Structure formats: C-alpha cells, structure tokens
Amino acid sequence: MGIADMGTRAKKLLRFLIRIVVATLLLTWVFSQVNLREFFQTVKAARWHYLAAVWLFTVVFFWLRSLTLQIALNKQGCTVRMTTLFGASAVTALYAMILPEIVSTGVKWFILKKDTGKGTNVLSSMLYNQLSVIVTMTLFGLAALALTNPSSILLAGTPNSWLLPVVCVLSLAGTIVVSILALNKHSGHAVIRALKLTARPLPHAVRAKVEQILDQIALFQTAGPRFHLAIAAINVIACIAGFFIYLASARAANISVPLVTIVCLCAAVFLLGRLPISIANLGVREVTLVGILSVYGVEKTSALLMSMVLFSSLIFMAAVGAAFQISWAAKSHQT
C-alpha cells in the first residue's frame, strides 16, 4: 500500500470519526434539553399502533424511489427488476446505519452494476434519481414554509415578518425555472456550466460532488419532457408518502400540528440529511424536530419521541435489507 493510499484512508477515517462526534454532540444536546422522567411518561402515553403506518409508508416511499430509478435505468438501456432495485435500496439502508452515505450508496451502485454490467449508466441514473427527489422535496418545503411562515411567530409585531414567504416563493419559482432549463437540450449545457460556477466557493469535496451530479444530469437532457414529467409525478407521490410517514410519527407521539408544518419538517430533515455531517442522520433529525416543533409549542419530549419513531422506520428498512442480503447470499452459495 502506497503513502497516498494510506493518506486517503486516513482522511476517510477522520471524516467518519468527525461525523460520529457531530452526531454524539447533537444527541447529547437534545437529551440535555429533555427531562428523562417526563420523556418516559411520554413514551408510555404513545400511540404505538401508528408504528405500523410509519413502516408501511416507508416501504411505499422506498418502492416509489425504486420505480423512478427503474425508469431512469431503462432510459439508459439497463433493464433491472423492481425486486432487485427495492432490495438494493433496503441493503443500502442497512449499510447506512453504520457507514457514511457515500459508502452505503456505493453498495447500491455495486449491486446494480453487477446486475447490469453498466457501471456508468447506473451511476448517472442514481444521481439523476437522487437530484430529482431533492428538487421535488425542496419545492414542497419552500411552498410549505411560505404558507406556515414561522417568522410571523418569531418576529410577531415586526415589519419584516412578510419577508420569508416572499423569499420562499421567489426561490420556488427560481428552482422550477432552473430545473426546466437545465434539463432542456438547447439550454441545458449553458445552465450546467453556470451552476458549476456558482459551486466554486464550496469546499472541494462538496464542489466535486456537485459537479459530478451536474455532469451526469447532462446525459438526461435529451430524454424529453414526457420522461421528466413522469419522474416528477412519481416523485410527488413519493414525497406525499414521506409526509404520511411524518404525520403517523407525529400521531404516535401525540403531536397535533398543521399538515403544512409536517411538510416543512419532512423537507427540512430530508434535505439536511443529504449533508455529510452525521451517521444515519442521527442528531440532525432530533435537533431539527425539537427546534422546529418548539416554535409551535410542542414539548421537547414529544418531539424527541417522534424522532425515535422516525428512526425506527430506518431500522425497519435495515432489517428488510438484512433479509435481502441473507437471501442473495444463500442463492449465491447454492449456485
């Protein structure tokens, strides 16, 4: 092993340890804000029958994400069964419990590359699929944030409480316009170049990831509007399934807030979870829920319980992934 390889491994290990430290610090802060005796009382009063709905909608969400990936792969000339795609997503959820997202996602890429023999096509389809749901969730989040306008509570009586909705609406419109232009075969290349320029101030690792995604997205600029509209429609349904996951989790913790607030929570946690700062989104999810829900007068103990119910959905999918892993290993051993 060369010195360069050792340096790369050391950097990866350091980043992994930093994520563990960040998750630990965030969780420590959350639990320091909660009275444990009150929290156990909240757990006893929980409506655990909603847990089945949380897990059911989690399966629906993963299945719909697998469906959009299948459509993207078909466009790249790769035919993959839904069972394989769903299983690969579940296995990724399993590895994501202990590994950084980029490594766990690499497991999914390896499974699909082995199945199709087309690693580049799989990578471009995965990145397109990832970006499409991020954009969809961002649009939902911006719309919900404009409607709820938490600044009207935090900045009550000040003349600037209208500013947040205006910024959200302008950002929503800008995101839609940029997305349409980026996926258009005539304007796409210029937009991609412009987006790369805007990413230059970002840290090198983040900038490299953004540029990689943009390069792969360029491959879908000739796919046509019907293809992109089909992906968008399925992503909307998938996001709605995600909102129901959060709604059922809130009901399990006896939390009653407007549906638009649930949409804000789901979008915020999902988008913050894309940042490489934690493991399995631990800490980030808890701080976000406790922070946002406190604006609406929700007790921190209830918000923490809701985060644990949400985390159980990841554990459930990890268990499904383990079942797929065992099944595939058994079949491989038989052959």
Contact indicator for 284, 273 with CB cutoff of 8 Å: yes
Instruction: Indicate the pTM of the whole model.
Output: 0.86
- Could you give the CA distance from residue 142 to residue 116 in angstroms, rounded to a whole number? 37
Domain contains 127: yes
Contact indicator for 78, 125 with CB cutoff of 8 Å: yes
Domain contains 5: no
Give the pLDDT mean for 262-285: 84
Contact indicator for 284, 25 with CB cutoff of 8 Å: no
**In this predicted model, what pLDDT tens digit does every residue of 74-110 receive, in sequence order?**
988 889 999 999 999 999 998 887 765 656 678 898 8
Domain contains 176: yes
CA distances from 108 to 71, 84, 85, 103, 321 (A): 16, 10, 9, 9, 11
Contact indicator for 276, 14 with CB cutoff of 8 Å: no
Quick one: pLDDT at residue 212? 75
Domain contains 255: yes
Please report which confidence band the pLDDT of residue 156 belongs to, taking 50, 70 and 90 as the band edges.
low
Domain contains 41: no
**Vertex 301, ends 57 and 261: CA angle to 5°?**
50
Contact indicator for 244, 57 with CB cutoff of 8 Å: yes
**Quick one: which of 65, 93, 56, 87 has its CA closest to 238?**
65
Q: Per the structure, how many domains does the chain have?
A: 1
* Boundaries of domain holding 240: 49-325
**In this predicted model, what pLDDT tens digit does every residue of 189-248 receive, in sequence order?**
888 888 888 888 877 767 777 777 777 777 788 888 899 999 999 999 999 999 999 999
Average pLDDT of the chain? 86
Please report which confidence band the pLDDT of residue 334 belongs to, taking 50, 70 and 90 as the band edges.
low
Quick one: pLDDT at residue 160? 61
Quick one: pLDDT at residue 6? 55
Please report which confidence band the pLDDT of residue 50 belongs to, taking 50, 70 and 90 as the band edges.
very high
* CB atoms closer than 10 angstroms to residue 5: 9
Domain contains 44: no
DSSP, residue by residue, 63-111: HHHHHHHHHHHHHTT----HHHHHHHHHHHHHHHTTS-HHHHHHHHHHH
Give the pLDDT mean for 266-292: 84
* 154 or 239: which leads in pLDDT: 239
**In this predicted model, what pLDDT tens digit does every residue of 308-333 receive, in sequence order?**
999 999 999 999 999 999 999 888 76
Domain contains 177: yes
- Hey, what amino acid is at 228? H
Domain contains 332: no
Instruction: Kindly give the interhelix angle for 119-148 and 50-75, rounded to the nearest 10 degrees.
Output: 130
Q: Would you give the end-to-end CA distance of the chain in angstroms? A: 34
Give the pLDDT mean for 55-77: 94
Two structure tokens written together for 77: 């000339």
Contact indicator for 214, 195 with CB cutoff of 8 Å: yes
